[in-house]
Amino acid sequence: MWSESCLEPPSLPPAKTMSIYLAATLLATILSCLALADAGQVDAPTRGMALMCALPALAWMGLHLAPRARLDTHPLDRERRGRPLAHFAQHSSQPALLVEGGRIAHANRALLKALGLTARADEVLGMPLDNIVHPKHHRRLAALLGSEAASGDAGVLTLLRADGVPWLARVSLFRGERSPVTLLQFDTPEALPDTGPDRQWGNRLAHFAGEILFALDNQLLVTWVNPQWERATGRPVAESLFLPFLPLFHLEDRAALTKGLRQLQNGERDSLTLELRTLAGRALGPRWVELRAWPLDLPASGETGIVGMLLDIDQRRRSEEALRAQRRSLHTMLDNLPGMIYRGQNDKHWTMEFVSEGCFELTGYTPLELVDNQSASFADLIHPEDRDFVWNYVQMRLTRRERYELSYRIVDRDGQTRWVWEQGRGIHSSRGEFLGLEGFITDVDSSRGAQEEARRRLFFDNATGLLGFSLFLDRLQHLFVHSTCVGYPFALLHLALDPLEEIAASHGPAMAERVMVEVGKRLRVVCNDCNGVARHGNGFAILVADFRPASLAWAAPLPDAPSTAAGLSHLADALTGLAGRPLRIDGHPIALSARIGIAPAPTQCSDAKEMLAAAAPST
């Protein structure tokens, strides 16, 4: 510290010293002339002339020196009072500066070094003091300079170094007596910025980094950003400093960001990584960035700031969004497929690693129950009679590295047997290693049933010699139309075998099929060019258009008018007796009973199909 006792006495400027010297010389000359005149060495005319010359000179000097002395009193005093402050600031080992009118009048070397402005000393002079003070302390600075408080400790101010790092320094204020000049002296920072090679490489790295680097103070204001900020956002670095950090991000992301940054400052976490949408980019819309941040201790203030970086991940996020959209479309397609897509292992259990949602409708099991055999293995669902066939066929195709296609039966969760069709292939790595199976399984029970029905009809028609149902229906439609036009008589009857379902339950479907074949052979006697029989459901449809006795010999004896209601009833009884005779198949006696129905007249039906439906006997 300094005191008034150490100040040197004031000295006059050289111009004023010369004026006094000339006045003293002129006065000495006049006195010498007067002394010589008294001694008789100078005559009276010469003495008078000397006095006449000296008086104007004395008058001019009096007018010149006296007023100038009075006018220069204040500048001389101001300079005399300001010189000690400037002298102290210049020679002090602590950072100090002089302020006049809110601008920097002088900054010593210690301050320039602490601020990192040693090479820019000329730019500092005349600069507003606000330029090197953190905006949050501008009001404090204005109050400090505008107050009439006595010299001494003035609290703390946050100064800004050239690299943007804040410096919280304790300041002492000194005022000259009746002087507008103010001296501000700051404590020496604990650690001045390093200017060694590491620091230089760090500055280069920050300058040329392709990612945005930033620093925040404890109020989450931006105190420093690297040049990449301007390249990425188009905002000048100078205009972005000391602005709030949070408004730079999307409103929906600010809550999570604020929480994370506060946790860093409170010591609740060591680092923070968030994916956010920033609004500071050049694009009109938000842009995705990944924020990585860490706490930064500020020893001078005892506060905690934030340092971090912003990584541009917008392209990656957009790619991920597109991929998720594709996956959603794929899952939607898989869920709507009438079947099950799978990926599994080639083992005896057919262990599934993945199955689509369609497995529930197909098997009655959810994907979670089938994957890794949690509730049931897919091998357990395959019909016992088809398991060996499925295993052997798939292994043969895999050995040849060929796709496999096959149909087999499964038993679903409710115990129902279903026909399914499967197509799949083996998956191999680039080195030829077998990885697993991928394929598709769908329900073909309805189509398989139709195929089986067609196969049975073809077999039945070939075995019995009866009409095919389509041919029978065409003949019936022809007779229906012809009868409506000309009144041609014909009859349509429907014979049903009652115990057929019991036979299938007791002896199997094959036995029931053989019973139908045997009964069909019995009814073959009805067929001729006009009359015909065809299988229909669990019975037979019988068409009679030829009522001649020779054509109805199987129903003899015939009534006089077989086309009448009484005659049709006689024909119905004959057909029932013909079909109801007992059978013996493979040594098994089988009792049969039949019911028969007669269709109404064609005039009471709209078409042949309605007439056939009306002919079926009620149970």
DSSP string covering 138-174, please?
HHHHHHHHHS-PPSEEEEEEEEE-TTS-EEEEEEEEE
Q: Does domain 454-615 have CATH number 3.30.70.270?
A: yes
CA-to-CA distance for 121 and 134, rounded, in angstroms?
A: 20
| Cβ atoms < 10 Å from Cβ of 383 | 16
Q: 273 in helix, strand or coil? A: strand
Query: Does the pLDDT at position 26 exceed 70?
Result: no
- Cβ-based neighbours of 130, under 8 Å, separated by 6 or more: 102, 138, 141
Q: What is the average pLDDT across 230-244?
A: 82
Which residues face 309 on adjacent strands? 213, 292
Three-state SS letters, 80-132: HHHHHHHHHHHHCCCCEEEEECCEEEEECHHHHHHHCCHHHHHHHCCCEHHHH
Residue of 500 and 83 predicted with greater confidence: 500
Question: Which of the residue ranges 63-67, 174-178, 231-235, 548-552 would you say has the lowest mean pLDDT?
Answer: 63-67
Q: What are the two backbone dihedrals, phi and then psi, of residue 467, each rounded to the nearest 5 degrees? A: -70, 150
User: How many whole angstroms from its chain centre is CA 33?
Assistant: 109
Q: What are the two backbone dihedrals, phi and then psi, of residue 570, each rounded to the nearest 5 degrees? A: -65, -40
Q: What is the average pLDDT across 12-33?
A: 60
Do the Cβ atoms of 158 and 130 come closer than 8 Å? no
Q: 514 in helix, strand or coil? A: helix
Four-way CATH pick for 77-186: 3.30.450.20, 3.30.465.10, 3.40.50.300, 3.30.2320.50: 3.30.450.20
CA-to-CA distance for 452 and 5, rounded, in angstroms?
A: 125
275-314 pLDDT, tens digit each:
999 887 666 678 899 999 999 887 666 788 899 999 989 8
pTM tops 0.75, yes or no: no
Identity of the amino acid at 352: M
User: How many whole angstroms from its chain centre is CA 266?
Assistant: 29
488-497 pLDDT, tens digit each:
889 999 999 8
Highest mean pLDDT: which of 279-293, 334-348, 401-415? 401-415
Average pLDDT over the chain, rounded to an integer: 80
Residue 108 C-beta-side C-alpha neighbours within 13 Å: 20
Q: 51 in helix, strand or coil? A: helix
Q: 39 in helix, strand or coil? A: coil
Question: Which of the residue ranges 74-78, 223-227, 287-291, 513-517 would you say has the lowest mean pLDDT?
Answer: 74-78
| 496, two tokens | 């049903």
Q: Which fold has domain 197-317?
A: Beta-Lactamase (3.30.450)
- What percentage of the chain exceeds 70 in pLDDT? 78
Four-way CATH pick for 337-443: 3.40.50.970, 3.10.129.10, 3.30.450.20, 3.40.630.30: 3.30.450.20
Do the Cβ atoms of 533 and 520 come closer than 8 Å? yes
Q: pLDDT band for 272, please (50, 70, 90 cuts).
A: very high
Q: What are the two backbone dihedrals, phi and then psi, of residue 509, each rounded to the nearest 5 degrees? A: -60, -30
Residue 274: the pLDDT is 94
| 325, two tokens | 């959209």
Q: pLDDT band for 368, please (50, 70, 90 cuts).
A: very high
The H-or-E segment that residue 517 falls in is: helix 509-522
Q: pLDDT band for 173, please (50, 70, 90 cuts).
A: confident
| 579, two tokens | 């079909």
CA-to-CA distance for 460 and 339, rounded, in angstroms?
A: 33
Sole residue written with tokens 């959209």: 325
DSSP 246: G
- Contacts within 8 Å (CB) and 24+ apart, 287-295: 287/312, 287/314, 288/312, 288/313, 288/314, 288/316, 288/317, 288/318, 289/212, 289/313, 289/314, 291/257, 293/260, 293/261, 293/264, 294/264, 294/270, 295/264, 295/265, 295/267, 295/270
